[in-house]
């Protein structure tokens, strides 16, 4: 293609590019205005000169071979990425970092017919584009680095590991010589180096604050949140950086809220202009470090709080257990005394009425203490269920019987609806009776006198449902979600004399949950009554309740069985009151208030029965029992343990040391009387 | 039209010469050792080209297209699928992690790589045919493979055939596979094959 001036002028008009034409000998025949402006060489000074003589570095850079290719008829593409430029032209751009104009070129053969008569080089200035692409790549790397560090922070990396990851990214992405992350230690007097990269010596810890001006700088409150380019003054005053020939750098304060945590520093040995993007990058990493440090600190506090709460909870449980146990002790003599008075003044109606009232109140206290102990034991996992196959109605009947005095006392009407066929399940009968008794008791307590209570038992597929409903005071919407929480009570009770500690429903829920069931409370609000629905796993419809062999001895008393009894208890009132009660029943009773005295009295008086308190000071009841059993003379003696604890472990321990029976204080007279009646002489 | 085994061998040998020159040029440009091998050679009518190409490229393809003219005229292509093209550019220019988008600089690099390869091949064929080809400026396209093939037949009257040469670039323990395609009219292709056979016979006689 022959290239006329008209065509070249046309090409000049339609594009912003350099146009360089040569003949077949590479003598320059055209040098357009674009090239004149950028090279400072006028066309008149260039045209007629050999291209390779004008620009000898083309030969050095082996670009001449491309021209020879073109002169053989091949079109040549020269990309900026491979060649940077074809003709050395100074860059007018101060910020791109390139001193030469970055160029992309095409070398096209000029043809006349089948002959190559020259070449045309078309040159584009891509300096700006190259700088832009480099900036994009840098930003992509920075974003990837920040994302990676953020992911590590969210994944729970500790601050040390995170700092090490950050210095790696900073060194690589910012292309600096040294990087460090410092942490300000308490009292703001010294710093610890958490991570470092590029320093020739091993990381140095514990910088003194006053010895490093870069550190002094970030201590200033106004520097918080600002990335700083290191000034010559700051560098000059920082001896540590000077020794490492640092001439430039930036530092980003790491903040945890309003508090300075540390700094991220990046330093170079050569003069370097950091771009706004690089400042933002350093700030982003410092922010991630700050958030991670805050999170680590909060997690540490949280762990501490959790530990403290767990310890408090344990102490509370231990206190409750101790409290309940201690409260039982004074109740035993009170109960014994009341029973003694009832027997002594059986014919006096006034005394009878008073003792009855006091017995009721003592019974209430005993129940409260038992509930307190129960909730504490359940919380500590010390309660085990004695499950057996039971007919649910037997439990309901027992609960109704226990609640009848209160129901009748408040003139409530109780309606019971139950299925024709038994609902059989695996459960602890006494604990389930306790649960139902609690619900029935609550219904009676929190319903105005003359109210109604409905009790429904039904089966739904493989569940046994027990619903206790009343038309009483109801439960507010605010209280409903918390009604099963420990110590939660309504502020408005009908009759404060009914009292309560707010333990009962907590016990109900825990015992039901131990059975694998659920309990829910429903109420439309104050004055709208309440309903409690218990769901328990039921056995299949064809399941049968095994007939139980009565394990208790013949309940009818045997022949007259007055015994020689020794009561051993360090609580004098408890021992004396029980002795008085048993003497009224016709027994011969001695008392001993300590373990040594007990052993001596057994030897001297040879009692038939020893009622032995376990919690004796010094040598406890277990040890006394063990010693007594070592003497074959006492083999026919009945040992009865009196203890505040009725768990299976306690009973087993008592059996192991030789006790025959185990009674829980305060002892029920009826239970003790039955036991004594069963014994022979 | 299909190639006989001998014809395939001959074309393969010629293309290998061209690929060696290409590899040498790329090695010098990049400072990395670049190898370029020919996995296979085949000839296809345009209508049957898509399934053959699908063994080397799929989806969207980056195509360096160079029209050549002279006694034998046609279209020369270097095809890479876009992911492969990005990887090749990044490997050749030490760009680090591969980028998903092909920017302007990357396109230029690919155009230059295609230009070097196609010039080398056409140069070898031109020497063989003792003709001088004329070359248009190579153009880079990014498009679906089917669209690229459509552009080969639109507006053409003559039945066209394609010589398909697989190309495997190896550098820095990585490999990128593409293919070179020479699309010729039936007349040009027959002349091309005839000259190839004559060369092969001469080479056999001389050895």
- Please report the domains of chain B, with CATH numbers, ordered by start residue: 5-206 (3.40.1550.10)
Whole-angstrom Cα distance, residue A613 to residue A644? 9
Structure tokens at B124: 């070898």
Instruction: List pLDDT tens digits, range A465-505.
Output: 999 999 999 998 888 888 888 666 655 444 444 455 567 88
Residues of A in contact with B28 (CB under 8 A): 62
With a threshold of 0.90, tell me whether the complex ipTM lies above it: no
The residue-averaged pLDDT of A43-55 equals: 94
Is the model's pLDDT at A288 over the cut of 50? yes
State how far residue B51 is from chain A, nearest Cα, in angstroms: 31
Q: Could you tell me if A488 and A502 are in contact, meaning their C-beta atoms sit under 8 angstroms apart? A: yes
Judge whether residue A551 has pLDDT over 50: no
Q: Is residue A113 scored above 90 in pLDDT?
A: no
Contact B111 A77 (CB under 8 A): yes
pLDDT digits (tens, 9 = 90+) for A420-443: 888 999 998 888 988 999 999 999
Chain A residues lying within 8 Å of B106, measured CB to CB: 81
Closest-approach residue (CA) in chain A for B68: A74
What angle separates helix A504-514 from helix A429-445, to the nearest 10 degrees?
150
Which residue of A lies nearest to B106 if distances are taken between CA atoms?
Answer: A81
According to CATH, the topology of domain A5-125 is Beta-Lactamase (3.30.450)
Task: Band the pLDDT of A340: cuts 50, 70, 90.
Answer: confident
Say which residue, A226 or A333, is predicted with more confidence: A333
What pLDDT sits at residue A168? 94
**Closest to A80 (Cβ–Cβ): which among B95, B97, B108?**
B108
- Give contacts of B 88-127 with A, CB under 8 A: 89, 93, 95-97, 99, 103-106, 108-109, 111-112, 115, 119, 122-123
b/e code B117-148 from CB counts within 10 Å (16+ = b): bbbbbbbbbbebbeebbbbeebebeeeebeeb
In this structure, of A81-95, A507-521, B11-25, the range with the lowest mean pLDDT score is A81-95
Q: What is the pLDDT of residue A655?
A: 87
| pLDDT greater than 60 at residue A571 | yes
DSSP state letters, B109-158: HHHHHHHHHHHHHHHHHHHHHT---EEPPPEEEEEEHHHHHHHHHTT--S
Q: Is residue A23 predicted with pLDDT exceeding 80?
A: yes
pLDDT at A568 over 90: yes
Q: With cut-offs at 50, 70 and 90, classify the pLDDT of residue A403.
A: confident
Architecture of domain A385-537: 2-Layer Sandwich (3.30)
CA distance B78 to A388: 84
Percent of chain A with pLDDT over 70: 89
Pair A462, A423: CB distance under 8 Å: no
Q: What b-and-e string marks burial along A89-124, b requiring 16 or more CB atoms within 10 Å of the CB?
A: bebebeebebeebbbbbbbbbbbeeeebbbbbbbbb
> Which residues of chain B does A80 touch, with a Cβ-Cβ cutoff of 8 Å?
105, 108
Instruction: Among A62, A104, A111, select the one facing B108 at the smallest CB separation.
Output: A104
Residues 64-83 (A) with a CB less than 8 A from some CB of B: 69, 72-82
Say yes or no to pLDDT of A672 above 80: yes
Residue pLDDT, tens place only, A228-263: 777 777 777 787 888 888 889 999 999 888 888 999
pLDDT of residue A583 exceeding 80: yes
Partners of B89 on chain A (C-beta within 8 Å) are 81
Alpha-carbon distance A544 to A549, whole Å?
15
pLDDT at A557 over 60: no
For residues B52 and B43, the answer to whether their CB atoms sit within 8 Å is no
Q: Tell me the CA end-to-end span of chain B in Å, nearest whole number.
A: 29
How confident is the model at residue A491, as a pLDDT? 54
How confident is the prediction for chain A on average, in pLDDT?
85
Those residues of chain B that have pLDDT short of 70 are 1, 95-101, 153-159, 207
Q: What is the pTM of this model?
A: 0.58
Chain A, chain B: beta-carbon pairs less than 8 Å apart: 67
Which residues on B lie below 8 Å from A126 (Cβ)?
104-105
Smallest Cβ distance to B105: which of A106, A111, A130? A130
Nearest to A79 among B97, B111, B123 (CB): B111
Give the sign of the dihedral formed by CA A447, CA A505, CA A426, CA A515: positive
Q: Classify domain A564-678 at the CATH superfamily level.
A: Response regulator (3.40.50.2300)
Say if residue A68's pLDDT is above 70.
yes
Q: What is the token pair recorded at B43?
A: 């000839």
Average pLDDT over residues A162-169: 95
Determine how many CB atoms are found less than 10 A away from the CB of residue A54: 17
Distance, CA of A8 to CA of A28 (rounded, Å) = 14
Of A591, A557, A588, the residue nearest A680 (C-alpha): A557
Query: Between these two residues, A243 and A598, which has the higher pLDDT value?
Result: A598
CATH architecture of A133-300: 2-Layer Sandwich (3.30)
Nearest residue to A646 (alpha-carbon basis) of A425, A436, A386: A386
């Amino acid at each position: 293609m022959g290239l006329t001036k008209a065509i070249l002028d046309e090409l000049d008009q339609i594009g912003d590019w350099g146009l360089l034409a040569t003949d077949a000998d590479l003598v320059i025949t055209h040098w357009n205005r674009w090239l004149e402006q950028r090279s400072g060489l006028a066309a008149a000074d260039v045209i007629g000169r050999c291209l390779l003589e004008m620009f000898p570095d083309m030969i050095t850079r082996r670009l001449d071979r491309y021209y020879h290719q073109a002169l053989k008829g091949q079109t040549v593409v020269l990309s900026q990425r491979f060649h940077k430029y074809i003709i050395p032209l100074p860059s007018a751009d101060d910020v791109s970092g390139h001193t030469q104009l970055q160029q992309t070129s095409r070398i096209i053969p000029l043809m006349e017919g089948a002959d190559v008569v020259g070449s045309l080089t078309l040159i584009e200035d891509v300096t700006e584009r190259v700088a832009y692409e480099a900036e994009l790549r840098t930003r992509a790397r920075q974003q990837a680095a920040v994302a990676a560090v953020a992911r590590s922070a969210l994944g729970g990396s500790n601050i040390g590991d995170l700092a090490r990851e950050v210095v790696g990214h900073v060194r690589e992405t910012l292309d600096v010589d040294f990087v460090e992350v410092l942490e300000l230690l308490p009292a703001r007097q010294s710093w610890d180096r958490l991570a470092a990269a590029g320093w020739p010596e091993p990381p140095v810890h514990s910088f003194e604050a006053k010895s490093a001006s870069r550190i002094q700088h970030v201590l200033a409150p106004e520097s918080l949140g600002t990335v700083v380019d290191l000034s010559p003054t700051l560098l000059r005053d920082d001896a540590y950086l000077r020794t490492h020939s640092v001439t430039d750098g930036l530092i980003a304060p790491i903040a945890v809220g309003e508090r300075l945590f540390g700094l991220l520093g990046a330093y170079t040995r050569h003069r370097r202009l950091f771009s706004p993007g690089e400042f933002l990058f350093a700030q982003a990493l410092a922010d991630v470090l700050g958030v991670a440090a805050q999170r680590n600190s909060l997690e540490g506090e949280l762990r501490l709080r959790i530990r403290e709460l767990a310890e408090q909870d344990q102490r509370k449980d231990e206190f409750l257990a101790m409290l309940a146990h201690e409260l039982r002790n004074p109740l035993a003599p009170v109960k014994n005394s009341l029973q003694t008075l009832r027997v002594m003044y059986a014919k006096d109606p006034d005394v009878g009425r008073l003792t009855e009232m006091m017995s009721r109140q003592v019974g209430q206290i005993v129940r409260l203490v038992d509930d307190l102990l129960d909730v504490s034991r359940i919380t500590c996992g010390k309660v085990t269920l004695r499950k057996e196959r039971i007919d649910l109605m037997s439990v309901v009947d027992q609960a109704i019987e226990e609640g009848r005095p209160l129901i009748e006392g408040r003139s409530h009407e109780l309606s019971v609806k139950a299925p024709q066929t038994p609902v059989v399940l695996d459960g602890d009968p006494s604990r389930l009776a306790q649960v139902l008794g609690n619900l029935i008791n609550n219904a009676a307590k929190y319903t105005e006198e003359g109210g109604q209570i409905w009790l429904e038992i039904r089966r739904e597929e493989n569940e046994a449902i027990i619903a206790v409903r009343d038309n009483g005071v109801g439960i507010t919407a605010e209280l409903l979600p918390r009604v099963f929480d420990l110590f939660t009570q309504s502020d408005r009770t009908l009759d404060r004399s009914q009292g309560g500690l707010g333990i009962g429903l907590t016990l109900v829920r825990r015992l039901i949950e131990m059975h694998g069931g659920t309990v829910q409370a429903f109420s439309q609000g104050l004055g709208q009554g309440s309903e409690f629905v218990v769901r328990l796993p039921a056995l299949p419809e064809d399941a049968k309740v095994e007939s139980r062999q009565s394990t208790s001895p013949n309940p009818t008393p045997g022949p007259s069985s007055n015994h020689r009894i020794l009561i051993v208890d360090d609580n004098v009132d408890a021992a004396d009151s029980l002795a008085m009660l048993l003497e009224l029943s016709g027994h011969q009773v001695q008392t001993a208030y300590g373990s040594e005295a007990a052993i001596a009295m057994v030897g001297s008086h040879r009692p038939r029965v020893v009622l032995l308190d376990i919690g004796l000071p010094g040598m406890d009841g277990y040890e006394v029992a063990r010693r007594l059993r070592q003497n074959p003379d006492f083999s026919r003696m009945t040992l009865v343990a009196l203890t505040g604890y009725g768990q299976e472990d306690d009973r087993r321990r008592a059996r192991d040391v030789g006790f025959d029976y185990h009674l829980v204080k305060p002892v029920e007279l009826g239970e003790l009387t039955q036991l004594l009646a069963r014994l022979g002489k | 039209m299909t190639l006989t085994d001998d014809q395939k061998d001959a074309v393969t040998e010629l293309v290998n010469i061209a690929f060696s020159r290409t590899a040498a040029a790329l090695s010098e440009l990049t400072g990395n050792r670049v190898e370029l091998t020919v996995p296979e050679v085949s000839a296809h009518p345009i209508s049957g080209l898509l399934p053959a190409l699908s063994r080397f490229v799929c989806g969207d393809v980056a195509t360096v297209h160079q029209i050549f003219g002279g006694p034998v005229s046609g279209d020369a292509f270097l095809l890479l699928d876009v992911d492969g093209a990005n990887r090749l550019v990044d490997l050749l220019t030490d760009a680090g992690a591969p980028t998903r988008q092909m920017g302007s600089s990357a396109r230029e690099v690919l155009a230059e790589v295609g230009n070097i390869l196609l010039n080398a091949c056409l140069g070898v064929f031109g020497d063989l045919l003792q003709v001088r080809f004329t070359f248009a400026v190579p153009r880079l396209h990014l498009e679906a493979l089917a669209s690229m093939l459509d552009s080969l037949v639109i507006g053409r009257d003559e039945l066209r055939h394609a010589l398909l040469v697989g190309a495997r670039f190896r550098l820095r323990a990585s490999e990128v596979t593409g293919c070179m395609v020479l699309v010729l009219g039936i007349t040009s292709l027959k002349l091309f094959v005839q000259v190839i056979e004559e060369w092969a016979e001469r080479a056999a006689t001389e050895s």
